[in-house]
């Protein structure tokens, strides 16, 4: 789907993804000390807003202008309820070609960016370039196996991928030691339906930027 198609989808429905942050994002990033964060493919802003509510200074990028407008509105509502401003810079850009400041962010998030491999690879490398030494890069998406073994998600195999695919996209960063794998694999996400609980399979890859000041050059 292109930006126009996503604009139409976001126009037709109310909060396609809901307002609560993704459970894996909360589980993996909640313990970090708030600093600067980049949310690539931020959609309606649920994760960016949660990060900002936790004290992060967030840059959120998505190619759907409608989604970004909706995210701004939701952020304003959250700010009014909480009585404090949220530090979020919203940008309408394609994450596969977006310009980002190198090594500028202590947390970089790529959440459910479902693209064909040749486009996905560019976005992953943008995320890696943006990560500061010692920072955390978190990738969460619908896993390839969800098509046959899980529930929901895209039904197009071309836009599904695995943790191993993410590692391959970033292989030169891993080989050089610029990135270190902290967690990589498939995780089960339970969903409640009218017929009872079902399982959706997600990939989750958490990487850490090498902290040159601490001499972290080994894999872990």
pLDDT one-digit tens code per residue, 1-21:
555 554 455 566 665 555 699
Note the pLDDT of residue 3: 54
List the domains of the chain with CATH numbers.
3-209 (3.40.50.150)
**Given strand 179-193, what is the order of strands in its sheet?**
88-92, 57-62, 36-40, 105-111, 131-142, 196-209, 179-193
User: What gap in Å lies between CA 219 and CA 183, rounded to an integer?
Assistant: 11
Note the pLDDT of residue 9: 55
Is-above-0.85 flag for pTM?
yes
- Which residue is it, tokens 């599904």? 160
Residue 21 region by backbone torsions, left for phi larger than 0, else alpha for psi between -120 and 50, else beta: beta
Note the pLDDT of residue 139: 98
Residue 54 is classified by DSSP as T
Of the candidates 207, 14, 15, 187, the one whose C-alpha atom is nearest the C-alpha of residue 109 is: 207
Q: Are 115 and 96 in contact (CB under 8 A)?
A: yes
pLDDT tens, residue by residue, 135-188: 999 999 999 999 999 999 999 999 999 999 999 999 999 999 999 999 999 999
Residue 198 region by backbone torsions, left for phi larger than 0, else alpha for psi between -120 and 50, else beta: beta
Note the pLDDT of residue 212: 55
On the question of pLDDT at 92 being above 60, the answer is: yes
pLDDT tens, residue by residue, 65-74: 999 999 999 9
Residue 219 region by backbone torsions, left for phi larger than 0, else alpha for psi between -120 and 50, else beta: beta
Percent of the chain with pLDDT over 90: 83
On the question of pLDDT at 103 being above 60, the answer is: yes
User: What gap in Å lies between CA 173 and CA 95, rounded to an integer?
Assistant: 19
User: What gap in Å lies between CA 206 and CA 83, rounded to an integer?
Assistant: 33
- Which residue is it, tokens 């891993």? 174
């Amino acid at each position: 789907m292109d930006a126009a198609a996503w604009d139409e989808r976001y126009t037709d429905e109310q909060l396609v993804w809901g307002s609560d942050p993704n459970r894996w994002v909360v589980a993996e990033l909640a313990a970090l000390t708030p600093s600067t964060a980049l949310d690539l493919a931020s959609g309606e802003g649920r994760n960016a807003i949660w990060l900002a509510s936790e004290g992060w200074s967030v840059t959120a990028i998505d190619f759907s202008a409608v989604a970004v407008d909706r995210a701004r509105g939701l952020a304003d509502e959250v700010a009014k309820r909480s009585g404090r401003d949220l530090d979020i810079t919203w940008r309408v850009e394609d994450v596969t070609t977006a310009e980002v400041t190198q090594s500028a962010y202590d947390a970089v998030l790529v959440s459910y960016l479902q693209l064909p491999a040749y486009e996905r690879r560019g976005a992953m490398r943008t995320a890696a370039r943006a990560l500061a030494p010692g920072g955390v890069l978190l990738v969460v998406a619908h896993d390839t196996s969800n098509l046959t073994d899980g529930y929901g998600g895209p039904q197009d195999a071309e836009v599904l991928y695995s943790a191993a695919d993410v590692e391959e996209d970033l292989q030169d960063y891993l080989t050089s030691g610029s990135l270190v794998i902290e967690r990589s694999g498939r995780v089960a996400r339970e969903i409640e339906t009218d017929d009872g609980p079902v399982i959706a399979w997600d990939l989750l890859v958490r990487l850490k930027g090498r902290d040159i000041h601490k001499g972290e050059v080994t894999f872990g």
